[in-house]
């Protein structure tokens, strides 16, 4: 059960307790408890996914783009480019050999040395006709350095990343993964260093 739901339930209980206390003549205690309950319900509602739906339609920027010539022989990120400075929410794009059937995942590693798989509504990176892309979010300070790492993942590893994101979202807590927690079926295929050009802390 997520923190938001717990706050909502406690808020409802406080309102009920406040109403009962007021009916029994305990208005000095009932009114403050009732007000606290209303405030808790307002907080949980305004922090819910319904009210924050605008984050799903937030504009996504793109970074500089690497020029690729000739046939594509490996999975590679083409935007942003190495040492690029990026916005808080970007579209990471790349290429892959069309013979490749595995999923592609973008993981970012900020200065806390944890790994954060990135996804949009499909979880895995969108692939089509030799090109892939995924929404990537950064939550650090201005100028914070990130490793942006591309993984080729088998079915089991891809499921692990998807399930991990679902658990984090349900708990509203994103602790990141340690290196040893990454699944063995996920193979690193490309890595670049990027920096945030804005203060992104608390944006998402």
What crossing angle do the helices spanning 27-46 and 3-23 adopt, rounded to 10°? 160
- Span 146-170, mean pLDDT? 95
Whole-number Å distance between alpha carbons of 72 and 131? 10
Whole-number Å distance between alpha carbons of 120 and 123? 5
Predicted structure pTM score:
0.69
Whole-number Å distance between alpha carbons of 150 and 11? 43
- Span 171-180, mean pLDDT? 95
- In tens, the pLDDT along 83-110 reads 999 999 999 999 999 899 999 999 999 9
What six digits make up the tokens of 154?
A: 């088998």
Asked if residue 29 has pLDDT above 90, the reply is no
Q: Which of 157, 159, 149, 155 is nearest to 184 (CA)?
A: 157
* CB-based contact 77:95 (threshold 8 Å): no
* Share above pLDDT 70 across residues of the chain, in percent, rounded to a whole number: 83
- In tens, the pLDDT along 44-83 reads 665 544 444 344 445 678 888 888 888 899 999 999 999 9
Dihedral (CA of 70, 76, 77, 81) sign: negative
Residues 6 or more apart in contact with residue 52 via CB below 8 angstroms:
none
């Amino acid at each position: 059960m997520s923190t938001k739901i717990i706050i909502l339930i406690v808020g409802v209980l406080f309102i009920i307790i406040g109403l009962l206390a007021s009916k029994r003549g305990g208005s000095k205690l009932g009114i403050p408890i009732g007000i606290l309950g209303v405030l808790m319900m307002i907080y949980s509602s305004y922090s819910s996914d319904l009210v924050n739906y605008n984050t799903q339609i937030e504009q996504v920027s793109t970074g500089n783009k690497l020029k690729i010539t000739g046939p594509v022989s490996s999975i590679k990120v083409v935007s942003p480019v190495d040492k690029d400075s990026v916005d808080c929410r970007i579209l990471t794009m790349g290429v892959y050999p069309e013979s490749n059937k595995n999923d592609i995942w973008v993981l970012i590693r900020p200065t806390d040395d944890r790994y954060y798989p990135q996804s949009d509504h499909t979880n895995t990176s969108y692939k089509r006709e030799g090109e892939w892309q995924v929404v990537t979010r950064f939550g650090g300070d201005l100028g914070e350095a990130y490793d942006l790492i591309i993984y080729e993942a088998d079915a089991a590893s891809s499921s692990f990343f998807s399930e991990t994101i679902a658990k984090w979202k349900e708990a509203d807590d994103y602790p990141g993964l340690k290196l040893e927690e990454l699944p063995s079926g996920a193979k690193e295929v490309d890595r670049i260093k990027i920096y945030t050009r804005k203060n992104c802390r608390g944006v998402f």
